[in-house]
């Protein structure tokens, strides 16, 4: 699954476009953030993306989980937001295209 890294400097509208594209392409996408400012941009993007994909019949939902990651050798707690169509069953996943991981600014 594609992972989008969102930061405090990320533009919510740009991230929303990336979410909508990935969701249409592969049925699910993951956002990873560290810190309150980055999470704020990510959640704004999710709220915007919900409108983008609604017309395609996608009922976008978000599943937040914690993740322990290393940044410059230091242990940090990230938040991962699984972004999926509500109907998407993780037990029987759709075929997914791995587009790799990149940061959106």
Cα distance between residue 8 and residue 53, in whole Å:
24
Count of residues touching a copy of itself (by CB under 8 A) = 20
Alpha helices per DSSP H over the chain: 12-26, 36-54
Interaction of residue 20 with a copy of itself, rule CB under 8 A: no
Angle at the Cα of 49 from the Cα atoms of 78 and 96, rounded to 5 degrees = 70
- Residue 51 gets which letter from DSSP? H
Interaction of residue 34 with a copy of itself, rule CB under 8 A: no
CB of 95 to a copy of itself, least distance (A): 21
CB of 66 to a copy of itself, least distance (A): 6
Instruction: Report the 10 Å Cβ neighbour count for 50.
Output: 18
Interaction of residue 43 with a copy of itself, rule CB under 8 A: yes
Q: Which residues bind a copy of itself (CB under 8 A)?
A: 35-37, 39-40, 43-44, 46-47, 50, 60-66, 79, 84, 86
């Amino acid at each position: 699954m594609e992972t989008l890294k969102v930061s405090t400097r990320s533009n919510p509208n740009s991230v929303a476009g990336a979410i909508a594209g990935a969701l249409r392409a592969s049925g699910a996408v993951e956002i990873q953030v560290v810190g309150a400012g980055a999470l704020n941009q990510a959640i704004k993007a999710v709220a915007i993306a919900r409108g983008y994909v609604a017309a395609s019949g996608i009922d976008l939902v978000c599943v937040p989980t914690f993740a322990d990651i290393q940044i410059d050798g230091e242990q940090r707690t990230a938040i991962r937001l699984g972004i999926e169509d509500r109907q998407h069953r993780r037990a029987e996943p759709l075929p997914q295209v791995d587009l790799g991981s990149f940061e959106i600014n």
